[in-house]
Amino acid sequence: MPVSYQQKTAESREKVHNYQCLAGIAFDNVGLGMAHGISHAIGGMFDLGHGLANAIALPYVLEYNAQDHLVKEKLDRLARSINQPDFCVAIKNLNRALNIPTSFKDAGISKQLFEDNFKLLVENSLKGSTRVNPVKASEQDMANLLNSIFHGKEF
């Protein structure tokens, strides 16, 4: 992806499209998770693109999910498959290479609007694909996670 982002060639973009197709097939087989649940709630409320919201939320959600030892083992296996010591860090590095903001605040969401709509945002983030997330989230967990993502702080 960084090559496609930097070079913008037809060949590199074609590869990204192919990878998107594979990702779509994977989503269809295993379902989505909390990053998508958060992204739906954020995007609909604050007019932030779905892909961008997912990219911002993903590292935080991966770290939240890594609390579970089975998820942590899978993330470690993914890291090894891409020759990286830590999968969450690899995703953060990819986001940095693609100039993805590290927080919803940096993406332009107003602190006042975020705070004014926080309760509804927490409720909506717990619906949909978040229900099939491998690590269950309480309302308080989601509130903490959303605050972390908004401010760009570790969970």
pLDDT of residue 35: 95
What mean pLDDT, rounded, does the chain reach? 90
**CA 69 to centroid of chain Cα atoms:** 20
pLDDT > 80? residue 146: yes
For the chain, percent of residues with pLDDT exceeding 70: 86
pLDDT in tens, 75-110: 999 999 999 999 999 999 999 999 999 999 999 999
How many CB atoms are located within 10 Å of the residue 119 CB? Answer: 11
pLDDT band for position 65 (50/70/90)? very high
Tell me how far apart the alpha carbons of residues 140 and 145 are, in angstroms, rounded to a whole number.
8
Give the whole-angstrom CA distance, residue 142 versus residue 148. 10
Q: DSSP string spanning 77-96?
A: HHHHHTT-S-HHHHHHHHHH
Taking the whole predicted model, whether its pTM rises above 0.85 is answered as yes
Q: Flag whether pLDDT at 119 surpasses 90.
A: yes
Lowest mean pLDDT, pick from 2-6, 38-42, 108-112, 129-133:
2-6
Q: What are the extents of the domains in the chain?
A: 1-30, 32-151
As a whole number of angstroms, the distance between CA 36 and CA 12 comes to 26
Greater confidence (108 vs 132) lies with 108
32-151: CATH number: 1.20.1090.10
Answer whether 104's CB lies under 8 Å from 98's CB.
no
Instruction: Place 13 in a pLDDT band, splitting at 50, 70 and 90.
Output: confident
Residue 61 has pLDDT above 70, yes or no: yes
pLDDT at 7 over 90: no
